[in-house]
């Protein structure tokens, strides 16, 4: 159908094709799909050029995955953006050969891979309770701050900010919002914690603030940039008054 559209667009007086764009998925951790999309897009681009289209760009999309499991160990000795199964450099090495010589811009969207490992959500334990045979660790962060676990059961490693080498126990790590789906982790092993302890939700730099909300009249949290021992507030905590604007 794409090839038919290339011909149809060529005959349209008020439509000009300026580029080709693909999207092959998310959280891709193998190189083979990028090798394949490079070949497919190169073939389509060459066909478009042969039909007389003038392309400004070919966009192969994104989907480059990062490592969410055991993120703390993975990120311990890496720079931001390196905690991933594949690097943008490795993907580029697969994409460039088939797309070379098209005389247009090549666009790749690494997005998540650049920022996911750069962000950590810090949350404080409000209290611990037991109900229905389960242990619930209730924290002050919620689905309004990081909705990925609630939205599609996404995994984020959660660890104490200050390790105590204490005994671990399975628990549900949940927020204070009045929703049964307000959780950050289910059936998770975690050191025994108490009111006031800080937890770090790892790999939270992507789809965190962009998917956050003011649901339940909750202000968005502050964002802090850290560089070694220095830090600065890049986005202050939202004032309650702003929630109602």
Measure the CA–CA gap between 138 and 61, rounded to whole angstroms.
38
The two counts, helices (H) then strands (E), for the chain are 7, 11
Catalytic residue among 76, 178, 217, 230: 178
| Cα 114 from chain centroid (whole Å) | 9
CB 192 within 8 A of CB 166: yes
Measure the CA–CA gap between 19 and 41, rounded to whole angstroms.
11
CB 9 within 8 A of CB 15: yes
Name the nearest CA neighbour of 35 among 85, 95, 92.
Answer: 95
Q: Is 11 helix (H, G, I), strand (E, B) or coil?
A: helix
Examine the residue annotation and report whether 178 is marked as an active-site residue of this protein. Answer: yes
Instruction: Return the bridge partners of 139, or none.
Output: 125
CB 103 within 8 A of CB 48: no
- 112 CB contacts (<8 Å, ≥6 apart)? 26, 62, 64, 65, 66, 206, 207
Would you please indicate which residues are annotated as catalytic (active-site) residues?
178
């Amino acid at each position: 159908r794409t090839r038919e559209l290339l011909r149809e667009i060529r005959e349209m007086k008020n439509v000009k094709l300026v580029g080709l764009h693909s999207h092959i998925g998310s959280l891709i951790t193998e190189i083979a799909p990028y090798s394949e999309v490079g070949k497919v897009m190169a073939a389509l681009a060459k066909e478009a050029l042969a039909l007389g289209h003038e392309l400004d760009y070919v966009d192969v999309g994104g989907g480059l995955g990062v490592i969410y499991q055991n993120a703390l160990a993975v990120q311990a000795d890496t720079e931001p953006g390196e905690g991933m199964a594949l690097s943008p450099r490795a993907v580029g090495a697969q994409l460039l050969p088939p797309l070379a010589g098209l005389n247009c811009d090549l666009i790749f969207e690494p997005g998540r891979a650049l920022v996911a490992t750069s962000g950590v959500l810090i949350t404080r334990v409000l209290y611990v309770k037991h109900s229905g045979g389960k242990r619930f660790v209730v924290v002050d962060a919620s689905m309004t701050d990081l909705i990925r676990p609630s939205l599609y059961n996404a995994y984020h490693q959660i660890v104490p900010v200050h390790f105590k080498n204490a005994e671990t126990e399975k628990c549900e790590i949940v927020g204070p919002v009045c929703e049964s789906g307000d959780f950050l982790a289910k059936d998770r092993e975690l050191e025994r914690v108490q009111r006031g302890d800080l937890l770090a939700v790892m790999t939270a730099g992507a789809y965190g603030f962009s998917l956050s909300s003011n649901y339940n009249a909750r202000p968005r949290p502050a964002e802090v940039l850290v560089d070694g021992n220095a830090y600065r507030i890049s986005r202050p905590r939202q004032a309650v008054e702003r929630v109602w604007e």
